[in-house]
A and B are shown apart, each in its own frame.
Chain A
Amino acid sequence: MSRARNTIGTWIGWAFFADLANGLALTFGYMFSRSVTMQYPDKEKWLPYPRYRGHHFLKRDEEGEIKCVACELCARICPCYCIEVVPYEDEKGNRRPAKFEIDTARCLFCGLCEDACPADAIALGQQYEFSSFSSRDLVIGRDNLLTKPGKAATGGGVVAARLNTKKDVLVETNEPQGYNWWRNIRRT
């Protein structure tokens, strides 16, 4: 009985375009809801989570010396053979890398080099914008790797940023922690 009435109700609804009106009301509501667009790269950028595997960086110890002992374990474990280490002995008698090159064009960002390193010298940081016009520029040397940004301390947010196209295309930001972008996705 109630089912029959429901069917009739549905038919009457259809006759007066209740379904159409519902749809229009829904899209109208969305029209004035907050947009979920992350305005990258003009105004905002995504700051990755601390566990993110981005561009490699080499660490220094407390005395400011490079931590790497040029054991070449990372070069061995690398599935793409994209690390090249040439050791030398510095004035203190420590084994250090004279040459440390990563070909990021071939790297697959597996993070195995980070896991293999016995001296905790290499890690994959938060930087993810290093596109280039030439694959030659993607071979990153030792001194360059030392200056790359480290792991994100706090991450997983959207921060205000601006596009800098002067030298390379780089999206710069000064803010360490942004708002949680996923909040916008959910409609309450």
Chain B
Amino acid sequence: MELIVALGLIIFKVALLIAILLLLPLPLTWVERKIAGHIQQRMGPMRVGWHGLLQPVADGIKLLTKEDHIPADADRFLFKLAPILALAPPFVVFVAVPFGETVSVLGNEITLYVSNLNVALLFVFAVIGLEVYGIIFGGWAANSKYAVLGSLRTCAQMISYEIPMGFAVIGVVMMAQSMSLLDIVRAQADVWNVVYQPVGFFVFFVAGLAEAQRIPFDLAEAEGDLGAGFHTEYSGIRFAFFMASEYAIMLLVSVLVVILFFGGWNGVLLPLPPLVWFVLKVAFFVYLFMWLRFTLPRYRYDQLMAIGWKVLLPLSMANIIITGIAFS
């Protein structure tokens, strides 16, 4: 009996997580377009619903009813597989991500995470690394030069930025003496990691920007030179999958930054519920992502590589050494 209840709870949590992750891109696209509009002194979407609130729904209907086009010379199997491969890893990662300690519902303590892996951080990086398959398959299968170039760029970018990203969190792991995200947050109950690890935070955030392929590192889909990068040939719902995966990764990077460096659900000053604190911090970072997008221009490709290998990598290594010396 207890096993069934526990199993049901896990299934319920996973279903809830998937529903939230699938639906969240809708409001996020609206928010992004509104922010874009107001930064550029426009209004953003205004016509569908109050202040364009129903615009994402209209876009969704549009994407669902568009022709599902597959180029003539495409590798049809890979072409169909790629969007799913791109969408799945960000969803899987969230299994290991905690959103808080516990809440009590009807007198029962319910944990706000699906599982507390003791190697959660490793799991996150391992699974996120898989996302690159969706992109390279998508670019390759489409049989179009823009798509191939875009996916090649993305692969190079993702691989070179995952290294400093991984190094940047080692400082955090050293401080918490654990790889479990839950323990990392607990270790920050008094002082947030960003105080001790500003360099680590910086490297992680910049690498996260590149990982999420947001401006200034969105070379994979540089409209000016590549059409739309690896998803040039995609249309309709398959294109929506790529978009959803992009938003999920942006969300994931925000969540990871908050958990690793900004104390997770530990609040300061205001006695708000932990979950509210967590959501507020994540919302701030999501806003920062969008804000940066409409502030900065795109880097050139060689600059991108130079930043990754010549700036971020040495910085993250120095960070590990200094953390090691200071906390040994």
Contact = CB atoms under 8 A, between A and B. Distances in A.
Interface of A: 20, 23-24, 26-28, 30-37, 39, 42
Nearest to B296: A23
A39 B37 CA distance: 13
Interface in B279-328: 291-292, 294-296
A43 to B, nearest CB: 9
Contacts of A27: 39, 291, 294-295
Given A24-B292, A27-B295, A34 B41 contact: yes
B43 A23 contact: no
A42 B46 contact: yes
A67 B41 CA distance: 48
A63 B193 CA distance: 87
A30 B40 contact: yes
B47 interface: yes
B240 to A, nearest CB: 28
A30 B37 CA distance: 10
A28 B41 contact: no
Query: In the complex, which range does the number of interface residues on chain B fall in?
Result: 10 to 19
* The 9 nearest A-B residue pairs measured at CB: A27-B295, A37-B43, A31-B38, A23-B295, A27-B39, A36-B41, A31-B39, A35-B43, A37-B42
7 contacts: A27-B39, A30-B38, A30-B39, A31-B39, A35-B41, A37-B41, A39-B43
Q: Interface majority SS on B: helix, strand, loop or mixed?
A: loop
B215 to A, nearest CB: 12
B35 interface: yes
A28 B291 contact: yes
Given A26-B295, A32-B38, 11 more contacts: A20-B296, A23-B295, A23-B296, A24-B295, A31-B35, A33-B41, A36-B42, A37-B41, A37-B42, A37-B43, A42-B46
B38 A35 contact: yes
Contacts of A28: 291
Contact of A35 (B42, B291, B292): B42
A73 B245 CA distance: 67
Nearest to B40: A30
Nearest to B294: A27
